[in-house]
Amino acid sequence: MKSKVDNENGERICVVIPTYNESKNIVSLINKIMNIFRMRNIDGFIVVVDDNSPDGTGKLVKEISKNNSRVYVICRNSKMGLGSAYKDGFNFAVDKLKSKILIQMDADFSHNPEYIPSFLKKIEEGFDVVVGSRNIDGGGIVGWGLKRRFLSFTANKLAKILCGLTISDVTSGFKVFTSNVFRKINSKICSNGFDFQVETLFWVQKEGFKVAELPIIFVDRKDGKSKLTIEEILRFIFTCIILSVKRFQVKG
């Protein structure tokens, strides 16, 4: 049975995946997402935004795109940041592919594509944004040690307190937006790195969009290295402080 989201309303789906040195993961991930599209009759596309990966990730995706009109790659000249990659990917999806629903996810299989149909169902029910949450009943994390869990817990607490966010998992990188949400908040987003995650939710909440959280099991990457650095952590803290000021300056 075809989904109302994809067919009756003619709403096109696009998954945007930023990459840097993900050659061990990206081909399998694309294949899995495409299988889900086919099995669920989803009018879906994939846009990979690669920051000139030395391991040839961008070249791999470019080869796939030659034989698959549903796969695109944006090859950038340097490592420009997670948030910057998402913005470039979303703009391409909305302007070039006319996508109505935007999905963001990691390239390392930390985010299971099997959750995508459940996310789309929430959009069908009338939500504007869906967040894959590790912090609600049914959610969780596999493969993290105490240090990484403590960092995540602290980041969530800090962002929620400073930015006034009510969402349980504000640092989640697995989200779905309608294109209307992206158009509304795009010009407001200044973050180019990991802090993009909290800033998008800040503006989503400020603008009064309807948000749902769905439980996900986050599985730490098996191949490749984490992109989280001390610089990213410091930038995240700085962004939370800036948003705490804007929280009282900008009306929702």
| pLDDT tens per residue across span 53-108 | 999 999 999 999 999 999 999 999 999 999 999 999 999 999 999 999 999 999 99
Whole-model pTM: value is 0.91
Which tokens sit at 228? Answer: 């989280």
Across the chain, what does the average pLDDT equal? 92
- pLDDT band for position 159 (cuts 50, 70, 90): very high
Conformational region of residue 215, where left means phi above 0, alpha means psi within -120 to 50, and beta covers everything else: beta
Domains of the chain listed by start with CATH number = 4-144+173-189+206-221 (3.90.550.10)
Going by C-alpha positions, the residue among 194, 197, 190 that lies closest to residue 229 is: 194
The pLDDT of residue 14 is 98
Which residue(s) pair with 102 in the sheet?
A: 14, 177
Quote the CA–CA distance of 97 and 90 in Å, as a whole number. 10
The pLDDT of residue 231 is 87
